[in-house]
Amino acid sequence: MKKPFRILLVEDNPGDTRLVREAFCRPAEHAFDLECVERLSDGLDRLKAKDFDMVYLDLCLPDSCGLETLARVHSRHPTIPITVFSGIDDELVRAEAFKAGAADYVVKGRWPQLM
């Protein structure tokens, strides 16, 4: 049996968390282990304590906002792919996120892009 793909979701909106959980937990060819936290500080703690295969990261959290959120995760864990998961649908922000180390950029509300 294959080991599940481990994803850390750092998202403070319960509705968005529920939608991501539903997307990754629906019957699929691959098994996912999705862990969710609401604060960047909790996400950084989880990344120190456990190995993850990728991070889904909201840019606006209670304890961090903007591209600095991405920079803080990427600087501490440069080898883990980070998908920015944001309500900001702006090409400039998207381009800056990729420059700052994002592997992907998903705009909230465009759920087919999740998988």
Q: Is the dihedral of CA 20, 38, 106, 75 positive or negative?
A: negative
As given in the structure block, the two tokens for residue 44 are: 């950084």
CATH C-level class of 5-114: alpha beta
> Is 32:4 a contact under the CB 8 Å cutoff?
yes
Residue 113 has pLDDT above 50, yes or no: no
pLDDT at 115 over 50: no
What confidence score (pLDDT) does residue 105 get? 95
Could you report the per-residue pLDDT of 33-87, keeping only the tens digit for each?
Answer: 999 999 999 999 999 999 999 999 999 999 999 999 999 999 999 999 999 999 9
63: left (phi over 0), alpha (psi -120 to 50) or beta: alpha
**Mean pLDDT, range 21-43, rounded to an integer:** 84
Quote the DSSP letter at residue 3. P
Q: Do the Cβ atoms of 43 and 37 come closer than 8 Å? A: yes
Mean pLDDT of the chain: 90
pTM beyond 0.85: yes
Per-domain residue ranges of the chain: 5-114
